[in-house]
Amino acid sequence: MHVKWPGNYTLTGYCTFVLLSVCFGAKDHCPVIPSVHIDAALKIWNYLRIDDRPVKSDMIIALGSYDVRVAERAAELWHDRYAEYILFSGKSGNLTRGENIRFSYRLLLNRNSLPRDVILVQKPYMERRKLATFQKQWPGSIGKLYVTSPQITLLNYPNSEEVDLDDVITIVISDMQILDSYAKLGYQTFQRIPDDFWSAYNILHRSGTYNEHQV
């Protein structure tokens, strides 16, 4: 699914006077998302992404996900010879407090295969959280750590196998909340979230539409 915009409008400029509806599946009602919510979600989405430019490394670690595009991104990097090995960790979903990262470390340690430089692959909106988790939970030293994900925009992220746009926004603001709360609980390193990103979060949170996954 691709969202196309007429003319030469920028997304933010165009969204000031349109409503957007992106819906898949058999929902009884496909919600129309106000432009102010789209702008707020885009701001948070862009903050949560790290989007490092991959550099040749010792290993690609793809964190488990029900979104097969994560595995496809890891395979793409491997085919482009960014690393000799791929480790898939976490089965079909991540253990959110870092167990999969610690288990991966132990596995590699036992095989005498600990990498120095790593490319970490995850879903776009989970990049910053997984960077923070890796920094906290990887028991050993690491050289360079690059974080990347499927090269997909927020508006192109929903598809028939995934979720609708309102569901994606719900998950995105939940990830921002988890990024903050898990650092306080000691599961992740602290990531500074500037006030303007909290303002975007509050626009979505106070609407009451996207709070299903709040912790």
Domain ranges of the chain: 11-48+152-207, 59-148
Please give the model's pTM, rounded to 2 decimal places. 0.82
How far is Cα 157 from Cα 175, in angstroms, rounded to an integer?
A: 16
Q: What is the pLDDT of residue 18?
A: 40
**Strand, coil or helix: what is 62?**
strand
Q: What is the pLDDT of residue 96?
A: 56
Question: How many H helices and E strands in the chain?
Answer: 7, 4
**Pairing label, strands 59-63, 85-89:** parallel
Q: What is the pLDDT of residue 90?
A: 78
Instruction: Flag residues of the chain having pLDDT under 50.
Output: 1-19, 21, 24-26
Q: What is the pLDDT of residue 188?
A: 94
